[in-house]
Amino acid sequence: MTGDPLAHFEPPRAPLRLPGVLSEHEVQSLLNAPDVETPLGLRDRAMLETLYASGLRVSELASLERSNLNLRQGVVRVTGKGGKDRLVPLGDVACQWLGRWMDGPRRDWVRDSDEQVFVSRRGRGLSRQAIWQRIRNYAIILGFGARLTPHKLRHSFATHMLDHGADLRVVQMLLGHADLATTQIYTHVAQARLKDLHHRHHPRG
C-alpha cells in the first residue's frame, strides 16, 4: 500500500471561537460612565454612543470627519476596508450627543476648518489608540476588566441587532462586511446567548 493512509480523512475542526459581547445592561452602564458635565466626558459619551449606534470600527471612528456626518438625516458616511463607502444610520440618541459635542466643547477646541470629529483639548484628532485607552479606562472603573475593547462594542452592536430581529444581510451592510459568512458568526453568538438565558431563567433550564 502506498501513499498517505490519512489522506482521505478530514482533520478535526477547531472549535468555533465566538466574539465576546456586552449585555444591553452593561452597554448602558458603559454609556453612562462619562461625566457629561465636563467637556471630556461629553466628548467620550458622544464617542461611545456613536460606536454602539453604528457598529463602526475604531479606526473608522478615529478618521470620522464633519463632512461625513448628517445629523439632520441621522446618518454617517463611512469609508471602510478596501475604500468602500457605506451609509450607516445613527439613531436619535447618538445624534443628540453628537450635536451637543459638536456645538459645545469641540467648537472651543478646534478651528472652523478642522474636519476631524473627535479631538483632544489641544484640537488634535484622536488616534485609535487614544480612543481605545479612554474606553479601557471606563471599563476598569466599571469593573469590566482591562480587556474590553472598542471592537467588543462592535460585536455587541451586531449581536443586539440580531437579538431584536434584524436581518442578517442588513447587519452585514451596516458592518461593512464583504462576505456574509463573516457576519454569520453573530448568529452563533445570539444563539449562545439565548441558550444561556434559557438555562439561567427557565425553571427546567
Partners of residue 94 on adjacent β-strands: none
- What φ, ψ does residue 12 adopt, rounded to 5°? -60, 140
* pTM for the model: 0.77
CATH class in words for 24-201 = mainly alpha
Confirm if 98 and 69 have CB atoms less than 8 A apart. Answer: yes
In terms of average pLDDT, the best of 3-7, 88-92, 156-160 is 88-92
The pLDDT assigned to 8 comes to 55
b/e string for 180-197 if b means 16 or more Cβ within 10 A?
eeebebbeebbeebeeee
Taking all residues of the chain, what is their mean pLDDT, rounded to a whole number?
A: 81
Average pLDDT of span 45-70:
93
Average pLDDT of span 17-25:
73
Average pLDDT of span 108-127:
91
Contacts of 108 (CB under 8 A, 6+ apart): 39
Average pLDDT of span 27-51:
96
Q: Which residue has the higher pLDDT, 35 or 151?
A: 35
Task: Show me where the domains of the chain are located.
Answer: 24-201
Active site residues: 57, 81, 151, 154, 177, 186
Query: Does residue 195 carry a pLDDT above 80?
Result: no
The pLDDT assigned to 68 comes to 92
